[in-house]
Each structure stands twice: as C-alpha cells, then as structure tokens.
Amino acid sequence: MHIGKTVFTQVMEWVHPEQFRRCVARYQGNYKVSNFSCWEQFLAMGFAQMTFRESLADIEVCLRSRGRQLYHLGFQSSIAHSTLADANATRDWRIYAELAQGLIRRARKLYAQESLGIELEHTIYALDSTTIDLCLSLFPWARFRSTKAAVKLHTLLDVRGPIPTMISISEGKQADVQILDELIIEPGAFYVMDRGYIDFQRLFRFVLASAFFVTRTKAGIQLSRLESRPVDRNCGLRSDHIVWLVSPQSVVHYPERLRRVSYRDPEDGKVLVFLTNNFDLPALVIAQLYKLRWRVELFFKWIKQNLRIKHFFGTSDNAVKTQVWIAVCVYVLVAILRKELGVQLSLSQMLQVLSVNVFEQVPLAELFAKSTSYTDTSDLHNQLMLWN
C-alpha cells in the first residue's frame, strides 16, 4: 500500500514525540529558539548519519535539493549549515543522550532473548573504549599528546544485541579504569573487561554490589593459591584456582578471595589467565564469557565504518558529543526496526538500503522485504546482527 510518507519520515516516527519533548524540556533545548528547533536539528543530523554525509555543507546541499519535501520530512525552517552549526554548538548534548537511553531501553527488551552461545540467563556486559583521533589545532580542548588531540568513547555493551547501555566521551588521555567510577553496577550481572581495568579497590565495588566481573590478569599481580579445582584439559583448560592477593595494600582494597582460571586458546595456542569473583560457574564458561568481550570491539569497528563519528561537523565539546549521541540514536533505531519488522538483513545492510531510499515513498516493511529477496541470506542465521 502506498502510504505517501518518505522512508526517512517512517524511520523517525519510531521516536516517540512525547519522549523527545520531555528530553528537550528537561534541558531547555528550545528556550528562546524562534526557528530551527531541536527536532529539526535531530532530523538534519539523523539524515547525515543515515545517508553518510561528510559535512554540514553536504547536509545543506542535499536537503535543499529536496526543498518541496522538507516540510513533509518535518522541517519547518530553511536549512543552512551555519544554523545547524550553531545548534550543535549550543543545544545541550544531554538532550540526545537521554533520548538514546530511552531508545536503548526499548531495544534491550526486543533483544533480551538473543542467544549468546552459552547457557546463561544473567545479563552480560562488555566494557571497553576506543580512541578517535582529532586535529589538535581544531580541538585544543581534547589534547592527547603534544602534537595531536583525541577523544575516547567508553562503552558498556549488552552483548545480547549488541546494544550499548552506557557511552561516556572523555579526553583521549583519560585512563580506561576511571570509567569504573561512573558505572551503576547491576546486581547479578557479569561485567567482562580487559586487564586495563584492573584496580582492586574499584573491582571490589562489584563484590559489594553482588555483581560479577571477568577480566584477564596482568604481570606483577602476586597471588597465593588456596585451592585447586580439577579441570578437563581436553577442552583447553589448564588450571582453576582459588587465590588470595599477597600484597598488603591490595588486600586492604580487596579483602576477599578471587578465582584464577588458566585457558589455552585452541585457535592460536595463546595462554590466557582470567580473574573473576564468581566461584560457581564452570571454568570453561568463564573462558567463554571473556571471549564475548570481542563483541564490543566489533561494535567499535562497525560504528566507525557505518556511522559518522570519525569526522565531526563541529569542533566544540558539545558538538562532538551531540554528533556521537545522535549517531547512537540512529544505530538503535535501526536495531529496533530490525526486530519490530522482522528484517533478515544485517544492520549494515539495512543502513545501505536506507541511505539510497530515504526520499522514496514506500512502506519500510516492503522496502526491506524487496531488498532481502535480492540478498543471499543463507548465511545470515549464524551471524552477529551487525556485520556482513
């Protein structure tokens, strides 16, 4: 059925108007704004993400070329790159961060039953960061080294999905471990992270919150073995020990036992040694949990390839955070569409389809169904939803 709405409009209709209005009102985004509202800013930046625009001027030219359709897309003001630049610099980025969190809550419900490849009902989070290099002369507030600037995207990923549940943007020189201070720890959940996050005072917060962590140990940590458990060496396990920290300073910060699991990766023969505060799961499951951490690395790779977060449309801290959070909104919107419409394409394939059809007037379900019919989906069943 021809519904008369563009593909772009249909996608944006999945953002609940009242939810958006509350986000804007909370941070007074439209205070003393006579034209080009926060919604129009969101539409323009969302259009840039969906169609792979490279600059504000690029956005302006493309949208103005569709002048007769702009009103039906939701624009009530003329499009000018200077107006959009001002909006990105001055409208509080927390508007879009809060909007993204609302979309994330919806997406996590849709993906709550996704298979992890292991029998575990707990929520599993992967924590990591990625660095985005910037030009020091344009982004002096993000000084990383003497000759370059950078920002870090710290991300907590629900590996079912995968859906980012927390994103924090910091200067590139901030140590990864400091992000643990910002986490609101969920009781009963597992947090998987690399050895850069080892700080026993911070890790003990997981014990106090009745949550679990899985990380790799690193050189220099002195541990005393209290108990050895039997392991099946045929599956790659080498040892399973209950241990105690030796250093008096470490014991003060972490006065409980730890579990150390040693595992040889059958793919490359590398020996990995894990630390966790969970004593009940089989040792092999601990190793399998750590392997799920690679999903956050793939998430970073995916968003850098498919979203506009490597080159920014503004140079202020607010503009950078606004662009990142609107990119996250688009990512989660497409993830929601994938589940709600039962699309068999990967997210990257969906974005490719959307990018060349945003002005078409065809129902979304029909658009993706036609695209699926021309795509070999025989190997999609066992893939992560993000990648081709």
Structural domains of the chain sorted by starting position, each given as residue range(s) with its CATH number in brackets: 7-96+315-373 (no CATH), 195-279 (2.20.25)
The CB density around residue 339, as the number of other CB atoms within 10 Å, is: 16
Q: What is the mean pLDDT of the chain?
A: 91
Distances (CA, A) of 151 to 142, 169, 179, 293: 6, 7, 14, 21
Residue 295 contacts residue 277 (beta carbons within 8 Å): no
* pLDDT the model gives residue 373: 67
Is the pLDDT at 324 greater than 80, yes or no?
Answer: yes
Site of tokens 């009530």: 76
Is the pLDDT at 372 greater than 90, yes or no?
Answer: no
Which range has the worst mean pLDDT, 112-126, 185-199, 373-387?
373-387
Which range has the worst mean pLDDT, 135-149, 182-196, 203-217, 248-262?
135-149
Percent with pLDDT over 70 in the chain? 95
Residue 41 contacts residue 84 (beta carbons within 8 Å): yes
Q: Which residue has the higher pLDDT, 240 or 145?
A: 240
* pLDDT the model gives residue 3: 60
pLDDT (mean) for 232-240? 93
pLDDT band at 116 (very low <50, low <70, confident <90, very high): confident
Bridge partner residues of 271 (DSSP): 264
* pLDDT the model gives residue 387: 39
CA 291-97-29 angle, 5° bins = 175
pLDDT (mean) for 355-366? 94
pLDDT digits (tens, 9 = 90+) for 257-308: 999 999 998 888 899 999 999 999 999 999 999 999 999 999 999 999 999 9
Residues near 29 by beta carbon (within 8 Å), at least 6 away in sequence: 23, 38, 91, 92, 95
* pLDDT the model gives residue 121: 85
Phi-psi region of 238 (alpha: psi -120 to 50; beta: other; left: phi over 0): alpha
Q: In 3D, which of 13, 52, 15 has the Cα closest to residue 356?
A: 52
Q: Which residue has the higher pLDDT, 373 or 229?
A: 229
Is the pLDDT at 375 greater than 80, yes or no?
Answer: no
Q: Which residue has the higher pLDDT, 67 or 215?
A: 215
pLDDT digits (tens, 9 = 90+) for 167-185: 999 989 999 999 999 999 9
How far is Cα 57 from Cα 355, in angstroms, rounded to an integer? 18
Is the pLDDT at 376 greater than 70, yes or no?
Answer: no
Is the pLDDT at 383 greater than 50, yes or no?
Answer: no
Which range has the worst mean pLDDT, 19-23, 86-90, 169-173, 250-254?
169-173
Report strand pairing: 124-134 vs 190-193: parallel
pLDDT digits (tens, 9 = 90+) for 22-58: 999 999 999 988 889 999 999 999 999 999 999 999 9
